[in-house]
Structure 1
């Protein structure tokens, strides 16, 4: 029985991430309604893990939970970062200011698990500038939170799908002279249709 209990109990790091994230509050109906107005169905807000709201302090690409610092902080949406190892970090996102940051620094991108478990029918790994577009796309693809690691983390991904031409150029700058092929959604859609 002890072995079964060990299998069902997540590793300490994942439990730590889960408990920290669950300190936040659930979304209020008006927040859910606002997401719906922006094209994000309620189901996309809760699966595979719910988006919550918490008070945070942004510090560049990192944030701290305000309660941990004993300060008021500012409200932000918090989203768990999943990788192949499970829950590895929490991201805080404030749409009004377009700030996006990670708590522990272990997370590279929202949707990170898809980097190593790609959908073979997707025509490439979709990269979004903002969590709102990622949520509209049912959390399919990634949102880069720590661009300084893009070259190392995405080096083996054959094709990235940018949102538009400007975004394609921004992604190319992350890779300098080598890296994945970066295409636009129209090209990916044409390849999917063939």
Structure 2
């Protein structure tokens, strides 16, 4: 078991009945709460966390014992090959989602190059929507990092014009600025 999973299990607790009721009321299935599509048993859990000021990452409360922590939903996150490399925390009421070590720009990264039989890759910005989709596709945590990871992923599917605009802007920032430098002969 790698250090990420050790930290995950050491810092998390099972969901409370009120959590399960809320998640189900959002239209999230028990199957999506209980495990990811690859049947690895990575259930959605709960932990006390402290989000960084920029909202891009978080710490477990055990890492910052003198800091006020808040309860959040958490789940392990994988890289493109399926290896668990990070933990994602989500506080729905504040619309905050972050990666613990910032090793992944998206949850569901293992889905980027999975066979899709010509279907576009679903891209979500809302964790509840991603969970409603049974964790198929990817959930954006860091838009700039997601754009880099998605640029070779083929066709993408988003669920709103606003999300499409944000993604297009992120892709546009990847286009390098190209200057034309006159050759020495042309300059003379």
Shorter chain as denominator, the TM-score bin is 0.7 to 0.9
> Would the alpha carbon gap of residues 156 and 96 (structure 1) be closer, same or farther in structure 2, given more than 3 Å must change?
same
Equivalent position to 1:33, from 14, 21, 31: 21
Deviation of the 1:150 alpha carbon: 2.6
For residues 27 and 47 of structure 2, what CA distance do their matches in structure 1 show? 23
> Considering only CA atoms, is the larger Rg found in Structure 1 or Structure 2?
2
**Where do residues 5-84 of structure 1 align in structure 2 (5 Å cutoff)?**
10=1, 15-22=2-9, 23-48=11-36, 49-59=42-52, 60-70=55-65, 71-83=67-79, 84=81
Matched-pair contact (CA < 8 Å) for 2:106–2:140: yes
**Where do residues 147-166 of structure 1 align in structure 2 (5 Å cutoff)?**
147-166=143-162
Secondary structure of the 2:94 match is coil
Which residue in 2 is equivalent to 1:188? Answer: none
For residues 81 and 158 of structure 1, what CA distance do their matches in structure 2 show? 22
Runs of 4+ in 1 over 6 A off after TM superposition: none
**Where do residues 101-112 of structure 1 align in structure 2 (5 Å cutoff)?**
101-112=98-109
Q: Which has the higher helix share?
A: 1
Q: CA RMSD in A?
A: 1.7
Matched-pair contact (CA < 8 Å) for 1:62–1:102: yes
Structure 2 residues not aligned, in runs of 5+: 37-41, 176-188
Secondary structure of the 2:93 match is coil
Structure 1 residues not aligned, in runs of 5+: 1-9, 180-194
Which residue in 1 is equivalent to 2:83? Answer: 86
Matched-pair contact (CA < 8 Å) for 1:44–1:135: yes
Equivalenced residue count is: 165
Which residue in 1 is equivalent to 2:123? Answer: 127
Post-superposition CA distance 1:102-142 (Å, at most 9, x none): 11111120111001224225x21101111100000000111
TM-score normalised to structure 1 length? 0.80
Secondary structure of the 1:153 match is helix
